[in-house]
């Protein structure tokens, strides 16, 4: 069964540095999402992306964050000037249409030191 693939599985970065989290959505999917989950807490919506542009974003998704679909397969989340509170699990998800199930990747654990 097709899967959403995320790399790296774990990223350790110094505070203030920039990180790029990578995702390869399922190939025929058109809707892409990033979520964040701080350890032991709920899954928080960050941003959705459709038709090569951001569809919706949450209050969390400020100027520190950006997303890109640089080619036909990758979907990236860039976090600039990382802070300690950015430490979390970041999940990418994709779906074929707006009403089909979302498929989540295994996540990238981001640790900011």
Partner 1 sequence: GQQVMQIPQYQHVQEGEDFTTYCNSSTTLSNIQWYKQRPGGHPVFLIQLVKSGEVKKQKRLTFQFGEAKKNSSLHITATQTTDVGTYFCAGGNTGGFKTIFGAGTRLFVKA
- Binder among 24, 50, 66, 76 for partner 1 (CB under 8 A): 50
Q: Which is nearer to partner 1, 32 or 79 (CB)?
A: 32
Does residue 81 come out as left (phi exceeding 0), alpha (psi in the -120 to 50 range) or beta? left
Q: Which two tokens stand for residue 31?
A: 């809707």
Q: What is the CA radius of gyration of the chain?
A: 13
Stretch of 14-22, 65-73, 75-83, 92-100 contacting partner 1, by CB under 8 A: 92-100
CB-CB neighbours of 59 under 10 Å:
8
Contact (CB, 8 A) for 34 and 67: yes
CB 55 within 8 A of CB 111: no
| Of the candidate residues 29, 33, 65, 77, the single one contacting partner 1 (CB under 8 A) | 33
Give the shortest CB-97-to-partner 1 separation in angstroms: 7
Select the span of 12-20, 21-29, 49-57, 69-77 touching partner 1 (CB under 8 A): 49-57
Q: Contact positions toward partner 1, by CB under 8 A?
A: 31, 33, 35, 41-45, 48, 50, 55-56, 58-59, 91, 95, 97-99, 101-107
């Amino acid at each position: 069964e097709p899967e959403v693939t995320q790399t790296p599985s774990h990223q350790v970065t110094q505070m203030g540095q920039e990180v790029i989290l990578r995702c390869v959505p399922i190939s025929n999917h058109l809707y892409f999402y990033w979520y964040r989950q701080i350890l032991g807490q709920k899954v928080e919506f960050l941003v959705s992306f459709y038709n090569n542009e951001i569809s919706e974003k949450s209050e969390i998704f400020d100027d520190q964050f950006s997303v890109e679909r640089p080619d036909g397969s990758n979907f990236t989340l860039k976090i600039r000037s990382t802070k300690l509170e950015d430490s979390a699990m970041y999940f990418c998800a994709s779906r074929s249409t707006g009403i089909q199930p979302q498929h989540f990747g295994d996540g990238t654990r981001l640790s900011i030191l």
